[in-house]
Amino acid sequence: MADTLYTAYTLPNGAIIPNRLVKAAMEENLANGAQQPDSALFSLYQSWAKGGIGLMITGNVMVDRYAMTGPGGVALEAGSDLAPFTQWAQIAKQHQARIWMQINHPGRQVFKAMGGKNLAPSPIALDLGKHSSMFSKPQAMTHDDIVDVIHRFVTTASLAKQAGFDGVQIHAAHGYLLAQFLSPLTNKRTDEWGGSLENRAKLLLEITKQVRQQCGDKFDIAVKLNSADFQRGGFDIDDAEKVINLLAQYRVDMVELSGGSYEAPAMQGRSADERTLAREAYFLTLTQQLVGRSPIPLMLTGGIRRKAVAEQVINTGFALCGMASALAFCPHLPNIWQTQAEFAPAIPNVNWQSKPLAGLATMAIIKRQLRRMSKGQLPQTNDSPLWSLVLDQINIKKRTQRYRKNLGITPA
């Protein structure tokens, strides 16, 4: 019997992914001062390309350089130089993997120190307890703001296609702008963009529709969707099922199920409600109800680091199995599993009392590994969470100053 993880998968549009293992998106923060990919990202993606992965999904590529999740992020807009993006796609695809560009807008999840735009469906600030001051209260978006965001997503997707990317993943999870519209906790609008789930989903649906119209039937279109917000009264699994059914009319090729936000970082194994998450394949139990009923193929991501668990995901009925942290510590994991089925990379676990700080420290440790690989070095598993967080904050401060200077944003 063929190894289920290493059988090819044919997307609804006819494109073939050589195996079922996916490098899911991570916050890489490795762009240059012009918010473009360069040798650092090229080197990193070359490591994953050589590692045997079937599909790579880039870290956040932002649709507006004035609305970023972090100062080292990549932005792709009208007028951007496409040459470095073309090179990025070519490097990722050199060993037959496909590559999708994850396209995103942070909405209210913009650090106050960044400046720039801080927009949201409704003027509701992030609640991170004593750390809430890291973010400012957002402005409610006008109709013109919403039209502008739709245009930006479509433009970025079109440019990704021109640069040679096989598809895009529209990010509607993790508390970013499109997830903010979907959640009744953050969308209190009374116009056509708020109220019923159909209205709250309208922005995501309109973007998906126009990307499909602009980029054609053969371009891969995926959506990253929360299975749940993991906050009482928020977007839940039944809402996710309804949104998937609404998306099907636009011939979406894949929906990746994840969960959580900055307030409830379930994507790192932590939640803010009574649910307890498994240490691996966090969302598998929660999302199994969707597999048999979804009209769109599904991909599951969340803490997967063992081959047996990845196989369980595929055998449950998911089309693809996404991994992130595991590939930050072991970029060649797909190749290793072909001969060492029991191998599992060691991944540090930060168990601090403050969930937001633990989440930041976890991201800081992962970003250290990505930076090492971007320099041709090997990952390490013994980094101090506290020291990693300190180094990351220093790095973010330097990059933030560079970002504000380059964009002419007045000093904080």
What pLDDT was estimated at residue 412?
53
- 66's CB contacts (< 8 A; 6+ apart) are 116, 117, 407, 409
Which residues in the chain land under pLDDT 50? 1, 266-280, 282
Distance, in Å, from the CA atom of 144 to the CA atom of 147, rounded to the nearest integer, reads 5
Distances (CA, A) of 118 to 9, 113, 164: 39, 11, 31
HSE-up of residue 102 (Cα within 13 Å, Cβ side): 25
Which residues are registered as beta bridge partners of 104? 62
The whole-angstrom distance between residue 209's C-alpha and the CA centroid of its chain comes to: 20
Domain ranges of the chain: 4-407
What pLDDT was estimated at residue 277?
39
Q: Tell me the two tokens of residue 155.
A: 């433009």
What values do phi and psi take at 16, rounded to 5?
A: -115, 125
- 407's CB contacts (< 8 A; 6+ apart) are 65, 66, 115, 116
Residue-wise pLDDT for 173-219, tens only, equals 988 999 999 999 999 999 999 999 999 999 999 999 999 999 999 99
Distance, in Å, from the CA atom of 182 to the CA atom of 27, rounded to the nearest integer, reads 22
CA dihedral sign of residues 71, 72, 77, 79? positive
Strands 16-17 and 9-10: antiparallel
Q: Tokens 């599951």 identify what position?
A: 300
Which parts of 317-384 fold into alpha helices (H)?
325-329, 333-337, 355-374
What pLDDT was estimated at residue 274?
37
pTM, to two decimals: 0.93
Distance, in Å, from the CA atom of 116 to the CA atom of 101, rounded to the nearest integer, reads 23
Pick the CATH number of 4-407 from 3.40.50.720, 3.30.750.24, 3.30.70.1170, 3.20.20.70: 3.20.20.70
What values do phi and psi take at 276, rounded to 5?
A: -105, 135
What pLDDT was estimated at residue 349?
83
Rounded percentage of the chain residues whose pLDDT exceeds 90: 75
Q: Tokens 């473009």 identify what position?
A: 36
What pLDDT was estimated at residue 86?
98
Distance, in Å, from the CA atom of 74 to the CA atom of 42, rounded to the nearest integer, reads 13
Residue-wise pLDDT for 356-380, tens only, equals 788 889 889 999 999 999 999 999 9
Distance, in Å, from the CA atom of 57 to the CA atom of 255, rounded to the nearest integer, reads 13
What pLDDT was estimated at residue 279?
47
Distances (CA, A) of 51 to 8, 186, 328, 333, 336: 16, 40, 12, 7, 8
Residue-wise pLDDT for 151-166, tens only, equals 999 999 999 999 999 9
